[in-house]
């Protein structure tokens, strides 16, 4: 929903969400979710505890990616999230456009870069807080040992 709200709408058949837990005790969250949803991969529990993302499927077959949030950026993104009215008196919390750009750039997949382009086009380059974006993306890219992610986004931001 965040991509549809901030960027160019596209069809998607999955749900991405973050559970802000901090470090430690992730097993409680993972085990609780695995009681209610089918894992998408055989070793989903172990994978999630190592990679901090739990890959699930709902009864209709829709993929659910649950990020186990703990990093300062993830805490900031949850704090900054805004309420969007999806139906009368029904709200959904979505990350900001800037936080979505950071997440998409960090993921560094072709579809994510297309989403970043769409967000920049729809929101307008001048309306985005680029200082915030680069302050948060740079340490994440360094952690991933992929500083080229930052350079790629800088190039897109300058166009």
Write the pLDDT tens digit of every residue in 80-132: 999 999 899 999 999 999 999 999 999 999 999 999 999 999 999 999 999 99
Residue whose pair of structure tokens reads 């709902």 in the numeric block: 58
Residue 63 inside a domain? The answer is: no
Closest Cα to residue 52, out of 73, 39, 71, 35? Answer: 71
| Helix residue ranges, H only, 18-84 | 26-36, 44-51, 72-80
Sign of the alpha-carbon dihedral angle for 139, 141, 144, 145: negative
| Helix residue ranges, H only, 67-147 | 72-80, 97-107, 110-123, 130-143
pLDDT at 22: 85
Q: Which residues of 94-132 are buried (b: 16+ CB within 10 A; e: fewer)?
A: bbbbbbbbbbbbbeeeeebbebbebbbeebeeeebeeeb
pLDDT at 11: 74
Tokens read off for 155: 């190039």
Q: Which residues pair with 92 in a beta bridge?
A: 84
Residue 113 inside a domain? The answer is: yes
Residue 31 inside a domain? The answer is: no
Residue 119 inside a domain? The answer is: yes
Residue 51 inside a domain? The answer is: no
**pLDDT tens readout for residues 3-46:** 888 888 777 778 888 999 889 999 999 999 999 999 999 999 99
Range of the domain at 16: 1-22+70-158
Residue 54 inside a domain? The answer is: no
Please give the backbone phi and psi of residue 78, each rounded to the nearest 5 degrees, phi first. -65, -40
């Amino acid at each position: 929903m965040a991509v549809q709200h901030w960027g160019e709408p596209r069809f998607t058949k999955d749900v991405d969400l973050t559970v802000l837990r901090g470090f430690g005790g992730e097993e409680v969250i993972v085990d609780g979710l695995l009681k209610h949803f089918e894992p998408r991969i055989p070793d989903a529990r172990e994978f999630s505890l190592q990679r901090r993302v739990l890959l699930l499927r709902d009864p209709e077959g829709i993929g659910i990616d649950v990020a186990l949030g703990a990093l300062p950026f993830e805490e900031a993104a949850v704090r900054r999230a805004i309420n969007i009215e999806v139906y009368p008196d029904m709200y959904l919390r979505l990350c900001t456009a800037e936080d979505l750009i950071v997440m998409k750039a960090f993921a560094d997949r072709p579809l994510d870069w297309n989403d970043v382009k769409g967000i920049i086009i729809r929101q307008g380059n001048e309306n985005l807080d680029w200082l915030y974006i680069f302050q948060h993306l740079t340490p994440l890219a360094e952690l991933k040992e992929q500083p080229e992610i930052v350079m790629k986004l800088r190039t897109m931001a300058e166009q």
